[in-house]
Amino acid sequence: MSAANSAPNILISAAGEDAAWKKAMTARLPGAAIVTGDDNYDPKTIDYALFWKQPQGLIKTLTGLKAIFSLGAGVDHVVSSPSLPVDLPVIRLEDAGMADQMVQYHLYAALHFMRDFDVYDAQQAKADWTQHPVARISKCRVGVMGLGALGAAVATALSNLGFTVSGWSRSMKAIEGITTFAGKETLAEFLGQSDILICLLPRTPETENVLESSTLSFLPKGAAIINAARGAMINEADLLRALDTGHLRGAFLDVAVTEPLPKSHPFWDHPKIRITPHIAAETRIEEAVDQIAENIDRINRGETPRGLVNRKTGY
């Protein structure tokens, strides 16, 4: 595509949702040539690739790419590719309807523990009518790991509801009403004041297994974990051990190391674990195609696109 030609060649590989994305992108960019893996196309002519869990080896065939767009909040499926050129821009979606959904999921999960619904679930199985005092929400300390667009939205919503909220990230962030921590040197202090720990970190080599036996031990006894980021953030064996020893009261998990979660996995029938099948938030296609089209325009004008991934940090 020449600089003078505003009609790009776009390839979509969206893990079984290609047709829906192609329809939406065609409506948004009617002049573009948009193809999927089912179409006949010349890989060398593709200007932009829209990817979610793309086939292995596809990237190296696209020698004319100007940028890759991830069709979700995460970009690990792209930046982990060994054939990804070091100078090729990778662009993530910013929200695209996901923030509201993430807020809803985490409000529900946090209240599950704050209002002792895990305790009452166990009591129901025993026909036990025992009542417990209702905790004050302001006494429940929630820690949010990862303060990007989604983490910041979740932290703010929890604070607005009345939880005492702190946040931890790689670099210092300022969010009204939230006590923030940054860097590895503050992680133990942050975890030590988190009665409910929410993980919304991006997946990078540095964040894989960030929650393992030593870091889990920093959490207060009786703390709970909510993970809707990536399964690789938590060492699953160490989590099970912390639950079985009573150090942790429970876990609310939307993700796992292996997805779909194998039927034989111990998470399924563990009494202290609640499982949802990676549904905390889905990309809203209509919002996403607007972002992608606007970023293609920015690139064509020689401007920096929004959501550009820092290849050194991986997000």
CB 296 within 8 A of CB 273: no
User: Active site residue: 92, 112, 141, 230, which one?
Assistant: 230
CB of 7 closer than 8 Å to CB of 44:
no
User: Which member of 115, 247, 265, 278 is catalytic?
Assistant: 278
Q: Which of 167, 176, 166, 110 is nearest to 137 (CA)?
A: 110
Q: Are 249 and 272 in contact (CB under 8 A)?
A: yes
Instruction: Write phi, then psi, for 138 (nearest 5 degrees).
Output: -70, -15
Check if 230 is active-site.
yes
Residue 196 contacts residue 222 (beta carbons within 8 Å) = no
Report the C-alpha gap between 120 and 128 in whole angstroms: 8
- To the query of whether residue 136 is one of the catalytic residues in this protein, the response is no
Q: What is the 3-state secondary structure (H, E, C) of the chain?
A: CCCCCCCCEEEEECCCCHHHHHHHHHHHCCCCEEEECCCCCCHHHCCEEEECCCCCCCHHHCCCCCEEEECCCCCHHHHCCCCCCCCCCEECCCCCCHHHHHHHHHHHHHHHHHCCHHHHHHHHHCCCCCCCCCCCHHHCEEEEECCCHHHHHHHHHHHHHCCEEEEEECCCCCCCCCEEEECHHHHHHHHHCCCEEEECCCCCCCCCCCECHHHHHHCCCCEEEEECCCHHHECHHHHHHHHHCCCEEEEEECCCCCCCCCCCCCCCCCCCEEECCCCCCCCCHHHHHHHHHHHHHHHHCCCCCCCECCCCCCC
Active site residues: 230, 278
